[in-house]
Every structure is written in structure tokens, then in C-alpha cells.
């Protein structure tokens, strides 16, 4: 049965593409021209988003280099240690809403240091997968569609992050 599934899965994408091309041929859509127009639009969007992406990375770098992260860690560690959360997880909790690559790097460091089967390794992996990069989403996705007033997006996004962290911690402890 497993071999049949593997063979079937090898053909899903080519069959899907064939269906798309046949449908385009039937509707007399110039596929290559539409593809090129989409690529041009995607490139223009990428160029438009570069300042927002650079801004996020500069903000994360400033947050880390200014000592604000150490201050946040020092203030959160006594509270979180009471419920059994190791201090090594706190930087991940802080950085995850800011930057996915930075959070992934921290997770890899934790896994290298403590191992993937340790409590802290499982907890870091669960936390890293439990939320998304809220500030990156607000900056990049909202900018790409021209949203200027994101009044409730930040508090709701951070509340969702907090809920995701809580669920990840609960799953890690239980």
C-alpha cells in the first residue's frame, strides 16, 4: 500500500500541471505570457518589500544588541522558572514573533546543546512551530497589499503568539 502511495504521489504534480495547461489551452489563455506577467509583478512586489524586510532585520538586531533582550530575559526568568520553563527557552519566546530565521537559529542552538530528545529540545521545537512571525507578517504582508492602518493586528497577533506559546509549553510539560 505504501509503495502504491509513493507511486501515486510522484504523479500528482505533473498531472495537476497537465490539467492546468489543458484548461488554459481550452480557454485559449497564453500561458507563457501570463507566466511572464506574473513574474514581472512578483519581482516588482519583491523590490517594493525590501525596505520593510530590512527594517525588520534592523529592528531585531537593535533589540538584541541594545541589551533589551537580556533585560526581558532577566525579568521573565523568575516568573517562568516557577512553572518549570527553563531560562534557555526565554530568548526563543522573545524572538519568535520578530524573526523566523533568528528563532530557527536559536532552536538549532538549543537542539545542538541539549539534544532533540531532551525536555528543552522538545519544548524549543514545539515553541518554534507553534506561532508565526507576527511583526514580519504585519510589516511585509500588510505592505504588499497596501494596508496602512493595522490597528488591531499587532495586539491580536501577539495574543495569538502568547496563546501558541502557552499551548506549546502545556504540551511540552504534559
Indicate whether 81 belongs to any domain: yes
Angle among Cα 98, 79, 99 to the nearest 5 degrees reads: 10
| Structural domains in the chain (count) | 1
Indicate whether 7 belongs to any domain: no
Structural domain for 148, as ranges: 47-173
The secondary structure of the chain, three-state, reads: CHHHHHHHHHHHHHHHHHHHHHHHHHCCCCHHHHHHHHHHHHHHHHHHHHHHHHHHHHHHHHHHHCCHHHHHHHHHHHHHHHCCCCHHHHHHHHHCCCCHHHHHHHHHHHHHHHCCCCHHHHHHHHHHHHCCCHHHHHHHHHHHHCCCCCCCHHHHHHHHHHHHHHHHHHHHHC
Indicate whether 41 belongs to any domain: no
Indicate whether 143 belongs to any domain: yes
Burial 54-67 (b: 16+ CB within 10 A, else e): eebeeebeebbeee
Indicate whether 157 belongs to any domain: yes
Which pLDDT tens digits describe the chain residue by residue (174 residues)? 555 556 777 888 889 989 998 999 999 999 889 989 989 998 888 888 788 778 877 887 888 889 888 898 889 889 888 888 888 898 888 888 888 888 898 999 999 999 999 999 999 999 998 888 888 888 778 877 878 787 888 899 999 999 999 898 888 877
Indicate whether 108 belongs to any domain: yes
Nearest CA to 173 out of 80, 79, 78, 84 is that of 84
Amino acid at each position: 500500500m505504501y509503495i502504491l502511495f509513493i507511486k501515486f504521489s510522484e504523479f500528482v504534480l505533473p498531472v495537476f500541471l497537465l490539467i492546468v495547461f489543458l484548461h488554459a489551452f481550452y480557454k485559449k489563455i497564453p500561458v507563457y505570457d501570463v507566466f511572464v506577467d506574473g513574474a514581472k509583478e512578483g519581482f516588482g512586489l519583491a523590490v517594493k518589500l525590501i525596505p520593510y524586510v530590512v527594517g525588520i532585520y534592523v529592528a531585531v538586531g537593535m533589540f538584541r544588541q541594545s541589551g533589551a533582550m537580556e533585560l526581558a530575559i532577566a525579568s521573565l526568568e523568575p516568573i517562568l522558572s516557577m512553572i518549570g520553563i527553563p531560562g534557555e527557552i526565554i530568548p526563543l519566546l522573545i524572538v519568535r514573533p520578530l524573526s523566523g530565521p533568528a528563532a530557527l537559529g536559536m532552536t538549532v542552538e538549543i537542539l545542538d546543546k541539549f539534544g532533540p530528545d531532551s525536555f528543552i529540545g522538545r519544548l524549543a521545537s514545539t515553541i518554534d512551530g507553534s506561532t508565526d512571525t507576527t511583526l514580519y507578517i504585519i510589516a511585509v504582508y500588510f505592505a504588499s497589499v497596501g494596508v496602512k492602518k493595522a490597528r488591531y493586528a499587532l495586539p491580536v497577533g501577539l495574543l495569538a503568539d502568547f496563546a501558541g506559546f502557552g499551548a506549546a509549553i502545556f504540551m511540552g510539560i504534559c
